[in-house]
Amino acid sequence: MMFKGKAALVTGGGSGIGAMAAQRLAAEGAQVAVVDINLAGAQAIAARIEASGGVAIALAADVSQAADNAQAFDAAAQAFGGLDVAFLNAGVLQPYVPFDAVTEDVFDRLVAINLKGAFLGLQQAHRHLRAGGAAVVTASAAAVIGFADAAAYSASKHGVLGLVRSAARDFSKKGLRVNAICPGGVSTPLIGATPSLDIVSPGQLALPPYQGLLDPQQVAEVALFLLSPSAVGVNGQAQLVDAALLSAFPEGSV
C-alpha cells in the first residue's frame, strides 16, 4: 500500500497504460482521478476501481486545452482534499508515413496533444501537488532516437523530455519530483490492440520478449515506482521501458 492516504490523477486513464496505472495506484491505496477525453472510458476504469473497493472519480478533459487541464486538477483536488501524484500519460500516435508526407495538420495535432498537453499538465501538477509528491510523463523510446516513419510523433516526444528536465529544478524547490518514462512498443489500443484491463500482482508479470511488445501493466509499474517514495532520489530523468529495444542493433541487421 505504497500510496495509502494519497490522491492521484491519471490522464489518458481510460485505456492502455493509463488504465493499468490508475487501477494499480488504487490497489496501492490511492484515491484516483481517472481523466480521459473519452469520458465513457474513464468512467469504466473508475467503476472497476470502485468495484474492487477503491475510490475513484472520472473526469473528461482534452489535455491540449489549458482550461481542461485546470478544471481536471481543480476537480480532483477538491474531491480528494488535495493531490499527491500525477501521471500525465495522455497522448496520440500518427500514421506511419515518410518524413516528406507528414502534413502540417498532423504535426500541429501531435504537438498540441503530446507536447503542449504535457506542458499544461506539468504546470498544473506544479501548482497542485503537495510537498513530497511527484509527476511522471509518458514520453517514448522515440524521444531518445529518431523515428523515420513518425517524425511528428518523435519530435513531440523529444520535446517532452526537454520539458521534464527543465521543470525538475522548480519542482524540487516545492519538494516535488518530475520524471519521464520512455516506452518502446506496447500492446495498447493506440496500435489497434485490445489488451485485458485486468491487473495482476507485479510478481506475476511475465518477462517481455527481447525487443518485443510490452504489456501495458509492465510499463505502468515503472511509472508507479517513479511516483513512489522509493524513487525519492530520481528527478529530471527519462527511464526507458523498452524490453531492450534500443540496447543493440536488431539481430541480423549488421
Which residues are annotated as catalytic? 153
Cell representation of residue 175 = 519538494
Whether the Cβ atoms of residue 137 and residue 164 lie closer than 8 Å to each other: yes
Cell representation of residue 85 = 501524484
Rounded alpha-carbon distances, angstroms, from residue 140 to 89, 161, 233, 237: 11, 9, 22, 13
Rounded alpha-carbon distances, angstroms, from residue 176 to 50, 90, 186: 28, 21, 28
Whether the Cβ atoms of residue 105 and residue 156 lie closer than 8 Å to each other: no
Rounded alpha-carbon distances, angstroms, from residue 58 to 182, 183, 202, 254: 26, 25, 25, 49
Helix (H, G, I), strand (E, B) or coil at 209: coil
Tell me the helix, strand and coil percentages in the chain, rounded to 5. 45, 20, 35
Nearest Cα neighbor of 191 from 221, 213, 161 is: 213
Rounded alpha-carbon distances, angstroms, from residue 7 to 80, 170, 219, 251: 6, 21, 20, 44
